[in-house]
A and B are shown apart, each in its own frame.
Chain A
Amino acid sequence: MPAEKIMLLGVNHKTTPVEIREKIALSEGYEKPLMALKSIRGLREYYLLSTCNRVEFLLVTDAAASVEEAIIEFIFGSQVSITDCRKYLYILNGRDAVHHLFLVAASLDSMVVGEAQILGQLKEAYRHASHLGCTGPLLNKLLHKSFSAAKRVRTETAIGSSAVSISYAAVQLARKIFGNLKDKKVLIVGAGEMAELAAEHLVGQGVGEVVVANRTLARAVDLAKRFSGCAVSIDELVSQLEHVDIIISSTGATDIILHKEQVKSVMRSRKNRPLFFIDIAVPRDLDPQLIELENVYLYDIDDLSSVVEVNKTERDKEAIKASRIVDEETLKFQRWYRGMAVTPTIQALRKKIDVIGQNEIEKTFAKVPDMSEKEREIMRKMVGSIGAKILHNPMVYLKSESCAGRDNSDMKVTIVRELFGLTNGDGEQ
């Protein structure tokens, strides 16, 4: 294995409560944090992904321990104590990091498995990083691999259709409750990807108005703009219930954000007009007892999928297939990555030159049959030393110490491999 390490640090909706995630979410886009990371020593390549459910750093480094510390400090700042940080953060190395990245890209790590937005977010994050020159040959390769792995999962399994069908189911249920959706209002609580998708479907079906409530108002405003709706703060949730009809919740809060009693009090002032709740969040956002209230309908993801008769075992089967694909792609990448080291490159280069020399000598010997054994020996030596002379400079180049403290052997290996046409592991190179 090469000396440098692929490392992935991150927090997501499974490990970290939303309050913490919000503190570390990058609200001002990618540019600033990406530029700030440049100052960390020992960081060779990096990229970062920030969505409402996760913040992840993928890096290539040769001084793992010190970089790890620096990144943790960068992520959490001074807002969270260092022991807490360790509790929330997952740090993956080498193969595990690659595997995780592929899982995320294939939407197997999402709140709603199979939703398609994550790949777009990944691509955008990568675009920012590569624009600013933060990624190098290794990450470029790795991220492109993750895109193609995700694509494979999408085309070879039916995992994507379940997310789409879930929002389709939400529309169907809304239809069975409200009949006509024209004058109905949707409230999106928490700016999650799946909520967005479901809202999109509802708007496509003619829902009149969209309201977005979120802890951070900025995100709410962004999302509301997409549906030309309005944004409210999450504290207004209960008072908003008086005016809306459909509520899609996906905040990823650790506790229930809306209790039965709160909704009960609203129903009076609503004159009992029905309320339709969709709880997409894991763990749940909404009190499961809401369903006991008259004219209140509450469904979670599993309920929704039973509407469209996507049965759970079928979905699980697809998920197994998908994770098999991810494993496969991880293995392929590993094979390629191993080949990327300096020593195997030198060996491959030597072997290539040797084989060429051998072949040419055999051809020449065949043309001049009456050559004596001594002459043949001389010829062999000559071909060998031509090869060695040709190889000398590339070898020196590959083995040379890093210049100006930066190790760019990845780049050198890539150049030499391309120059000499050395294929490696996977055929697509």
Chain B
Amino acid sequence: MDEISYLVFLTAMGVTFLAMAAYVVFFVSQNKRVRKVARIILMVSGVLQTLYLGSRFILAGHTPITSMHETVVFFAWSTTWAYLSFRWRYTVKNFGTFVSVLIFGLLLVSTFSSRDIVQLVPALQSLWLPVHAGVSIIAYGFFSLAFCGALMYLLQENELKSKRFGFFFSRLPSLDALDQLNNHCLTIGFAFFTLGIVTGSVWARQAWGTYWQWDPKETWSLITWFLYLVQVHQRFTVGWRGKRAAIMAIIGFIAVTFSLWGVSYLLGGVHSYAG
């Protein structure tokens, strides 16, 4: 079972690489048929990632989000499906190229941490695990989409402001589309993130008897939450948008990745996946 699971993981990586390659080819050539192929490959990758997580679930007997490896795969998975669901509602030109690069990058990163299954302490074996971790990771998925959109915004804005209309100008979508994308992803992501923090807090009350214990991960998540809160608030009140919003989305994403990795490796705490 373990071997099959690993095989699925490797296949998922390979397929994602193909999807990324196809998206890059599409980005350069702008051939619509290539895009269609890339999209189908990415969907296959999404399915394979789901299968892999499923196999991990069977192996571990609980939601596979307790080791660093699993968390990062989950991150890639939620980014993939957030993108595919997003793509369902409306298209943003060449968004897929940036997102597929990020997804592949995440899967690649996940290979660097141990694939060993982490057994949970009895206190944490609860229904709250999938709820809390799942909701948070969905939020991360949307934040990473916002990050990709923000990068594209900065590239396009740079072309427009410098008045050198080069490679990216024709390939990237309009600033307005990117800004809207940023706005949507942040709003959805922020809602899920808030929910993640609330559920985590409730679960903590159950498991440890206190809602909040200033564990490093909690602190960093709260900092991240405030970063996004400021942004959502400023957009709503004084109309922060465009470049400023894009930079904030990137800062937010850096904070997200730090609270995912940095905290676990550097600071430890109850969330650390060391076992």
A273 near B239: Cβ-Cβ < 8 Å: yes
B161 near A297: Cβ-Cβ < 8 Å? yes
| Interface residue A389 (Cβ < 8 Å from any Cβ of B) | no
Query: Does chain A have a CB within 8 A of B5?
Result: no
B243 lies within 8 A of A295 (CB): yes
Question: B242–A306 contact, CB under 8 A?
Answer: no
B11 part of interface (Cβ distance < 8 Å):
no
B239, A274: Cβ atoms under 8 Å?
Answer: no
Contact A179 B177, CB 8 Å, known A271-B238, A272-B242 = yes
The answer, yes or no, to whether B163 is at the interface (CB within 8 Å) is yes
Is the interface on chain B under 10, 10 to 19, 20 to 34, or 35 or more residues? 20 to 34
Q: B169–A176 contact, CB under 8 A?
A: yes
How many Å from the CB of A273 to the closest CB on chain B? 7
Q: A297-B161, A299-B163 are in contact. Are A179 and B242 (CB under 8 A)?
A: no
Contact status B244-A274, CB under 8 Å: no
* Interface presence of A268 (CB below 8 A): yes
CA distance A178 to B242 in the complex (A): 11
Bound state CA distance, A173 and B165, in angstroms?
10
Pairwise interchain contact A177-B175, C-beta atoms closer than 8 A? yes
Give Cα distance in the complex from A303 to B241, angstroms. Answer: 25
- The listed residue with most B CB atoms (<10 A of its CB), out of A176, A268, A297, is A176
In the complex the two chains form, is A291's CB within 8 Å of B176's CB? Answer: no
Per the bound structure, the CA–CA distance linking A299 and B165 in Å amounts to 12
Residue B173 lies at the interface, judged by CB distance under 8 Å to chain A: yes
Interface contact B240-A272, CB-CB below 8 Å: yes
Q: Decide: B175 and A274 in contact? CB cutoff 8 A.
A: yes
Contact A176–B240 (Cβ < 8 Å): no
Residues of chain A lying within 8 A (CB to CB) of residue B165: 306-307
Give the residues from 297 to 333 in chain A that come closer than 8 angstroms, CB to CB, to chain B.
297, 299, 303, 306-307
Interchain CB contact (< 8 A) of B176 among A178, A299, A303: A178
Interchain nearest-CB distance for B104 vs A (Å)? 28
- State whether A271 and B174 are in contact (beta carbons under 8 Å apart), knowing that A299-B163, A307-B165 are contacts in the complex: no
CB-based nearest B residue for A307: B165
Minimal Cβ-Cβ distance residue in B for A295: B242
Task: Chain B residues near A175: list those with CB within 8 A.
Answer: 174
Residues of A contacting B161 in the complex (Cβ-Cβ under 8 angstroms) = 291, 297
List B contacts of A401 (CB < 8 A). Answer: none
User: Which residue in chain B gives the minimum CB-CB distance to A176?
Assistant: B174
Q: Residues of B contacting A268 with CB < 8 Å?
A: 238
Residues of A255-311 contacting chain B, CB below 8 A: 268, 270-274, 291, 294-295, 297, 299, 303, 306-307
Check: A180 CB closer than 8 A to any chain B CB: yes
Question: If the complex has contacts A176-B156, A177-B160, are A294 and B174 also in contact, measured as CB distance less than 8 A?
Answer: no
Indicate whether A177 sits within 8 Å of B163 (C-beta atoms), given known contacts A268-B238, A271-B239. Answer: no
Q: By the criterion CB–CB under 8 Å, are A177 and B174 in contact?
A: yes
Contact residues in B for A173 (Cβ distance below 8 Å): 160
Give the distance in Å from the alpha carbon of A178 to the alpha carbon of B156 in the complex: 12
Which of chain B's residues has its CB closest to A304's CB? Answer: B163
Q: Report chain A residues within 8 Å CB of B160.
A: 173, 176-177, 297
* Interface residue count on the A side (C-beta < 8 Å): 21
Residue on B nearest A273 in the bound complex, by CB? B239
Which residues of A have CB within 8 Å of B239? 270-273
Which partner residue on chain A sits nearest B237 by CB separation? Answer: A271
If A297-B160, A299-B163 touch, does A177 touch B241 (CB 8 Å cutoff)? Answer: no
- Residue contact B238 to A272, C-beta cutoff 8 Å: yes
Digit string of B231-275 for contact with A (CB within 8 Å is 1, else 0)?
Answer: 000000011111110000000000000000000000000000000
Whether A303 and B163, one on each chain, are in contact in the complex, defined by CB atoms closer than 8 angstroms, is: yes
CB-based contact A274/B238 at 8 Å: no
The answer on a CB contact under 8 Å between A176 and B244 is no
A173-B160, A176-B160, A178-B174 known; A294-B242 Cβ under 8 A = yes
Q: Closest CB of chain A to B171's CB: distance in Å?
A: 11
Q: Are the C-beta atoms of A274 and B163 separated by less than 8 Å?
A: no
B189-205 interface bits toward A, Cβ cutoff 8 Å, 1 = contact, 0 = none? 00000000000000000
Measured between C-beta atoms, what is the minimum distance from A156 to chain B in Å?
30
Kindly list chain B residues whose C-beta atoms are within 8 Å of the C-beta of A295. Answer: 241-243
Chain B residue nearest to A276 (CB atoms) is: B160
Q: Are A177 and B243 in contact (CB under 8 A)?
A: no
A297 to B177, CA, bound (A): 16
Say yes or no: B176 contacts A177, CB within 8 Å.
yes
Q: Mark B202-244, 1 if CB is under 8 A from A, else 0.
A: 0000000000000000000000000000000000001111111
- Chain A nearest CB from B91 CB (Å) reads 12
Residues of B within 8 A of A291 (CB): 161
Contact assessment for B241 and A272 in the assembled complex, using a CB-CB cutoff below 8 Å: yes
Query: In the complex, A179→B91 CA distance in Å?
Result: 12
A116 and B38 alpha carbons, distance in the complex (Å): 46
Neighbouring A residues of B180 by C-beta, 8 Å: 179
Q: Which A residues touch B173, using CB under 8 A?
A: 179
Question: Chain A: which residue is nearest B156 at the CB level?
Answer: A176
Closest chain A residue to B238 by CB distance? A271
In the complex, what distance in Å separates the CA atom of A120 from the CA atom of B222? 68
Q: A268-B238, A306-B163 are in contact. Are A274 and B243 (CB under 8 A)?
A: no
Do residues B163 and A179 form an inter-chain contact, with CB atoms below 8 A?
A: no
B242 and A180 contact, CB distance less than 8 A: no
- Chain A residues contacting B174 (CB-CB under 8 Å) are 175-179
Nearest to A184 among chain B residues (CB) is: B176
Q: Which residues of B contact A179 (CB under 8 A)?
A: 173-177, 180
Enumerate chain A residues within 8 angstroms of B177, measured Cβ to Cβ: 179
Q: Closest Cβ of chain B: how far from A172's Cβ, in Å?
A: 9
B174 to chain A, nearest CB (A): 4
Most A CB atoms within 10 A — which of B161, B173, B174, B240? Answer: B174
Sample 28 A-B pairs with CB under 8 A, ordered by A number. Answer: A173-B160, A176-B156, A176-B160, A176-B174, A176-B175, A177-B160, A177-B175, A178-B174, A179-B173, A179-B177, A179-B180, A270-B239, A271-B238, A271-B239, A271-B241, A272-B239, A272-B240, A272-B241, A272-B242, A274-B175, A274-B242, A291-B161, A294-B242, A294-B244, A295-B241, A295-B242, A297-B160, A297-B161
